[in-house]
Amino acid sequence: MNKQPIVYGFALKRSIKNTKITFAVLLLFILQGIVGNVYAQEKKISISVKNEKLETVLRMVEKQTNYLFFYDSDEINKQQRITINQTNSSLKDVLDAVASKTNLSYTIKGRHIILAKKPNVSSTNKDGRASGSEKKITGIVKDEADLPVVGANVIVPRTKKGVITDMNGNFSLEVAAGDEVEISYLGYTTQKIKISAQNFLNVVLREDAKSLNEVVVVGYGSVKKSDLTGSVASVSNTTLLRGGKTNSAGALQGELSGVTITRSNNKPGGGYDIK
Quick: pLDDT tens for 176-213: 888 999 999 988 899 999 988 888 999 999 988 765 55
Pair (106, 150) in one structural domain: no
Task: Indicate the pTM of the whole model.
Answer: 0.37
Stretch 44-64: mean pLDDT, rounded? 91
Pair (68, 80) in one structural domain: yes
Q: 27 versus 250: which is more confidently predicted?
A: 250
Q: How buried is 246 (Cβ within 10 angstroms: 0-12 exposed, 13-18 middle, 19+ buried)?
A: exposed
- Which range, of 97-106, 117-126, 188-197, averages the lowest pLDDT? 117-126
Q: How buried is 188 (Cβ within 10 angstroms: 0-12 exposed, 13-18 middle, 19+ buried)?
A: buried
Give Cβ neighbours of residue 11 (< 8 Å, ≥ 6 apart): none
Residue 61 in domain: yes
Please tell me what DSSP assigns to residue 267: S
Residue 258 in domain: yes
Pair (71, 85) in one structural domain: yes
> In 3-state terms, what secondary structure has residue 248?
helix
Could you say which of 90, 117, 144 is where a domain stops?
A: 117
Buried b (16+ CB within 10 A) or exposed e, 20-40: eeeeeeeeeeeeeeeeeeeeb
Residue 51 in domain: yes
Residue 11 in domain: no
Contact yes or no for 112/140 (Cβ under 8 A): no
Stretch 233-259: mean pLDDT, rounded? 63
Pair (174, 223) in one structural domain: no
The share of the chain scoring above pLDDT 90, in percent, equals: 25
**Helix, strand, coil share (%) of the chain residues, nearest 5:** 30, 35, 35
Other C-beta atoms closer than 10 Å to the C-beta of 254 total 11
Could you say which of 192, 208, 224 is where a domain stops?
A: 208
Pair (189, 200) in one structural domain: yes
Give the pLDDT score at 190: 92
> In 3-state terms, what secondary structure has residue 114?
strand
Give the pLDDT score at 117: 84
End-to-end Cα, the chain, rounded Å: 127
pLDDT category of residue 39 using cuts at 50, 70 and 90? very low
Q: Total structural domains in the chain?
A: 3
Give the pLDDT score at 259: 65
Residue 76 in domain: yes
Contact yes or no for 45/86 (Cβ under 8 A): yes
**Whole-number Å distance between alpha carbons of 134 and 42:** 41
Stretch 69-95: mean pLDDT, rounded? 88
Please give the C-alpha separations between residue 5 and each of 1, 8, 160, 182, 193, in angstroms, as whole numbers. 8, 5, 90, 95, 95
pLDDT category of residue 272 using cuts at 50, 70 and 90? low
pLDDT category of residue 260 using cuts at 50, 70 and 90? low
Pair (135, 192) in one structural domain: yes
- Give the structural domain span for 226: 211-274
The DSSP H or E segment spanning 251 is helix 248-252
Residue 126 in domain: no
Pair (250, 265) in one structural domain: yes
Pair (216, 162) in one structural domain: no
Stretch 245-256: mean pLDDT, rounded? 62
Give the pLDDT score at 34: 47
Give the pLDDT score at 160: 87
Pair (106, 50) in one structural domain: yes
Stretch 31-36: mean pLDDT, rounded? 49
Residue 239 in domain: yes
Residue 21 in domain: no
Closest by CA to 215, choosing from 186, 239, 191, is 186
Closest by CA to 170, choosing from 208, 196, 136, is 136
Pair (215, 204) in one structural domain: no
Pair (142, 176) in one structural domain: yes
**Whole-number Å distance between alpha carbons of 53 and 79:** 5
Could you say which of 117, 148, 172 is where a domain stops?
A: 117
**Whole-number Å distance between alpha carbons of 43 and 61:** 11
CATH of residue 109: 3.55.50.30
pLDDT category of residue 250 using cuts at 50, 70 and 90? low
